[in-house]
Amino acid sequence: MTTITARERLINAAVESFAEKGFSGTTTRDIASRAGMSPAAVYVHHDTKESLLFTVSLEGHRHSLDVISAAAATSADPVERLRTMVYDFSLWHADNSRVGRIVQYEFHALTPEHRAEIATLRRSIEKTMQNALADGVDKGVLDVADISGTALALLSLGVDLVRWFVPGGSRTGHDLATLNAELAVRMTRRT
Amino acid sequence: MTTITARERLINAAVESFAEKGFSGTTTRDIASRAGMSPAAVYVHHDTKESLLFTVSLEGHRHSLDVISAAAATSADPVERLRTMVYDFSLWHADNSRVGRIVQYEFHALTPEHRAEIATLRRSIEKTMQNALADGVDKGVLDVADISGTALALLSLGVDLVRWFVPGGSRTGHDLATLNAELAVRMTRRT
DNA sequence: GTCTATAAATTGATAGAC
DNA sequence: GTCTATCAATTTATAGAC
């Protein structure tokens, strides 16, 4: 049996509202009413509206870093590893497109301190992709002239899904992730 | 000699503020002060804050559609045409990253009527890319199993630049556009 | 921990003088 | 076409009762 605390209900409500209207477009009243509480109840569990955003953003960044890090450890073959990394990273963005929008598009709304903390997670995500490409080049399996630029492009394929992906639409997350993974291999494989 | 009207000064101010803080995070007072006017002067030239957004968004969408359409007409060779399309589309997003952020991320803030009008331009952009891929497949030069999905992925490479591109940073728009164009060719060329 | 009530500031937009 | 002044509504956040 899973107990959902008031704090978690507020976080779920914040995810809904931030993803739909953006951070600035969301009122604390909207979050409260989605969570079935009065406006004042929000502040018992979260100091400010921004601290709610930070909680969501931090958890989302950590989750996506976990996903790509785990994928990076699945195979010793650089091509299959890259395929898995792009597949899992893309699938995460499709399956979590609401959190993904907050992660990717509300970064600027964080306080400078919170932004700095999250920026380190972003660098880890990029570094994980760069390392996978560099290893594949070292092993002579991948052909990548610009490793950091290509890493950004591969991540963009997954990240940009959150801009338009609609759950229940004609394309499934699995289909899109499979396509992105195949394109990633074609982009980088040595011929 | 170029005369800058008050209306244009307001649009430039709106681009700055919308790109920096988002539509909801921007106040009409902020736009007015950036344009060197009083808050009331805004409403002489634009009915609502949203009409300013619509003006910026419409112009931006038209411009990027013009860019990719012109690129689609440059060459009869599908590979070189695709390279030019991805290069020009990516370069536009790097060179116009502020307008690009408004175009890509403030779509939801438009009124339903304005959103519908702009949606037709978005479909034209996608269709232009799809046609270029389909023609290359017909001519036996490109190998693309999922044309609409691959079109979205190619556009994503350009679009996602606006999320992080910083003018004057270590990477130039030209460098990024060249890389994206090369990756696009590798993704789609028949081997 | 939840509520009602409200403070204090900010917001989009307008009125009316010049 | 620009201004000062202001309205009416909304906003984040708090006070204090239960």
| CATH of range A1-47; options 3.90.226.10, 1.10.10.60, 1.20.140.10, 1.10.4160.10 | 1.10.10.60
Q: Which two tokens stand for residue B30?
A: 């902020």
Instruction: Give which of B23, B46, B53, B163 is closest to B115, Cα–Cα.
Output: B53
Query: What pLDDT is recorded for position A1?
Result: 76
Asked if residues B19 and B99 have their Cβ atoms less than 8 Å apart, the reply is yes
Residue A19, chain B, CB below 8 Å: the answer is: no
H or E segment to which residue A63 belongs: helix A49-72
Residue B13 to residues B18, B29, B33, B117, Cα–Cα distance (Å): 9, 11, 8, 24
D10 C1' to A173 CA distance, Å = 39
Instruction: Give which of B56, B57, B55, B47 is closest to B119, Cα–Cα.
Output: B57
d(CA B36, CA B13): 9
Q: Write the CB contacts of B83 (distance below 8 Å, at least 6 apart in sequence).
A: B181, B182, B184, B185
Instruction: Give which of A105, A20, A18 is closest to B162, Cα–Cα.
Output: A105
| CATH of range A49-188; options 1.10.357.10, 2.40.37.10, 1.20.1250.20, 3.40.50.720 | 1.10.357.10
Place of tokens 């990029």: A126
Report pLDDT digits (tens) over B114-143: 999 999 999 999 999 999 999 999 999 999
B100 has pLDDT over 90: yes
Query: What pLDDT is recorded for position B136?
Result: 98
B2 has pLDDT over 90: no
d(CA B123, CA B90): 18
Report pLDDT digits (tens) over B35-70: 999 999 999 999 999 999 999 999 999 999 999 999
A112: which strand partners?
A: none
Cβ pairs A/B, distance under 8 A: 75
How large is the angle between the packed helices B112-138 and B78-95, nearest 10 degrees? 150
Residue B22, chain A, CB below 8 Å: the answer is: yes
d(CA B42, CA B27): 11
Instruction: Give which of B25, B42, B162, B172 is closest to B102, Cα–Cα.
Output: B162
A91 secondary structure, DSSP code:
H
Half-sphere exposure of B130 (CA within 13 A, CB side): 11
**Average pLDDT over chain B, rounded to whole?**
98
Domain with CATH 1.10.10.60 in chain B: 1-47
Residue type, position B99, single letter: V
Q: Which two tokens stand for residue B183?
A: 């990756």
Query: What pLDDT is recorded for position A189?
Result: 98
Q: Residue B189 in 3-state DSSP? A: strand
| CA max distance for chain B | 62
Phi, psi of B46 (to 5 degrees): -140, 130
Domain with CATH 1.10.357.10 in chain A: 49-188
d(CA A58, CA A11): 12
Query: What pLDDT is recorded for position B1?
Result: 78
Which residues from chain A sit within 8 angstroms of residue B160, using beta carbons? 156, 159-160
User: Nearest residue to nucleotide C10 when comparing alpha carbons to its C1'?
Assistant: B27
Place of tokens 């959902």: A4
C14 C1' to A147 CA distance, Å = 56
Q: What is the mean pLDDT of residues B178-183?
A: 99
Asked if residues B60 and B99 have their Cβ atoms less than 8 Å apart, the reply is yes
Facing B149 at nearest CB: one of A156, A176, A188: A176
pLDDT per residue of chain A (191 residues) written in tens, 0 to 9: 789 999 999 999 999 999 999 999 999 999 999 999 999 999 999 999 999 999 999 999 999 999 999 999 999 999 999 999 999 999 999 999 999 999 999 999 999 999 999 999 999 999 999 999 999 999 999 999 999 999 999 999 999 999 999 999 999 999 999 999 999 999 999 99
Q: Count other Cβ atoms within 10 Å, centred on residue B64.
A: 25
Asked if residues A127 and A94 have their Cβ atoms less than 8 Å apart, the reply is no
